[in-house]
Amino acid sequence: MASKKLRRAGLAQELCERLSRHQINTCHDFLCVSFLELMKVTGQSYQNVQKLLCKVSRACAPKMQTAYDLKMKRAVNPFSAFLSTTLDSLDKALHGGVACGSLTEVTGPPGCGKTQFCIMMCVLATLPTSLGGLDGAVIYIDTESAFSAERLVQIAEHRLPNYFVTEEKLVSMTRSIHLYRELTCESVLKRIESLEEEIISKRVKLVIIDSVASVVRKEFDTKLQGNLTERSNFLAREASLLKYLAEEFSIPVSFLFVCLFVFPPPIFEIIQLCAA
């Protein structure tokens, strides 16, 4: 939206050319320039520049929805609003399960079951909607090499023995879980950036990142000057990408943290798994 070219926003051709001579090519550039500068560059009067601003803003502003419209959209398919965790009390606390369209963070000390929880969610996401699943594929970004396919099969067989009776069902379930091993911050970011195409082509319905903290802790030493801002920038970039993906495709994105850090916010729901 922000990088929309000004010509597509409906501005006149020769005005666009004039602006591009001052490196103002997209809506983003136009809105970042001060008012006086715009008047100088376009050579137009105060009222005309205001009208131009409105035109450009209309090209990239979001669409209005009432809260009622939002509710109706969610009500159309109630199962697509949440992915149930099949743990009743947790589902009740989360108002239905892991929310689709937003990020959920799972944190806790080592050994308390975060990866197991994620493996279970993998199984659940591949189930058909009649059984409470999302009937889709899963993308699992693994930075600690903690994912065990044998454990996945074990969980599937024991949790739903009635469903996973045949070998074929197990095979199709495991085939729809796509595992990526990434070991550096940069590769994690690259992978997330490439996810959009994968989500569409593979019909992905759940994205799990296990874990965000391990790569960050390896690479950023907060005692060193400047590392804190770099780390914050990296995490914020990651978070905004993930949020965009979650909302655009209305899928739950779940990722793991180790609970020792206090990270700068964006806002997530936090399910804390404590060892007690």
Partner 1 sequence: MAGSTAQRRRPPASRSGEDATTLPREIGISKEEALETLQVIRQECDSNAVRTGGDPTALRKCTALELLEQEQAQGFVITFCSALDDMLGGGVQLTKITEICGAPGVGKTQLCMQLAVDVQIPECFGGLAGEAVYIDTEGSFMVERVVDIATACVQHCQLIAEAQQEEDHHKALETFSLEGILSHMYYFRCHDYTELLAQIYLLPDFLSEHSKVRLVAVDGIAFPFRHDFEDLSLRTRLLNGLAQQLISIANDHKLAVILTNQMTTRIGQSQSTLVPALGESWGHAATIRLILHWDNNQRLATLYKSPSQKESTVPYCVTPHGFRDVQPPPPSQTPEGSEMNPRKRPRIEEDKQ
The residue among 147, 117, 97, 85 whose CA lies nearest residue 274 is 117
Instruction: Closer to partner 1 by CB, 99 or 199: give it.
Output: 99
Strand order in the sheet with 103-108: 177-181, 137-142, 204-210, 253-258, 103-108, 269-272
CB of 263 to partner 1, least distance (A): 9
| C-alpha angle 207-2-53 in degrees, rounded to nearest 5 | 150
Q: Which is nearer to partner 1, 22 or 202 (CB)?
A: 22
264 sits near partner 1 (criterion: CB under 8 A):
yes
Pairing of strands 137-142, 204-210: parallel
Among 157, 198, 219, 247, binds partner 1 (CB under 8 A): 247
CA angle (270 as vertex; 267, 273 as ends), nearest 5? 160
- When asked if residue 36 is in the footprint of partner 1 (CB under 8 A), the reply is no
Binding of partner 1 by 162 (CB under 8 A): no
Q: How far is CA 146 from CA 60, 173, 181, 242, 266, in A?
A: 42, 19, 10, 21, 26
Q: Does 224 bind partner 1 (CB under 8 A)?
A: no
Residue 2 or 200 having the CB closest to partner 1: 2
Indicate whether 92 belongs to the interface with partner 1 (CB under 8 A): no
Question: Considering only 63-71, 107-115, 175-183, 210-218, which stretch makes contact with partner 1 by CB under 8 A?
Answer: 63-71
For CA atoms 46, 47, 49, 53, give the dihedral sign: positive
Give yes or no for residue 81 binding partner 1 (CB under 8 A): yes
- Contacting partner 1 (CB under 8 A), which of 13, 34, 145, 166? 34
HSE-CB for 37 with a 13 A CA cutoff: 10
3-state secondary structure of 194: coil
237 binds partner 1 (CB under 8 A): yes
Q: Is 233 in the site for partner 1 (CB under 8 A)?
A: yes
Q: Which residues form the interface with partner 1 (CB under 8 A)? A: 1-2, 27-28, 31-32, 34, 47, 53-54, 56-71, 74, 81, 95-96, 99, 101-102, 232-233, 236-237, 240, 243-244, 246-247, 264-268, 270, 276
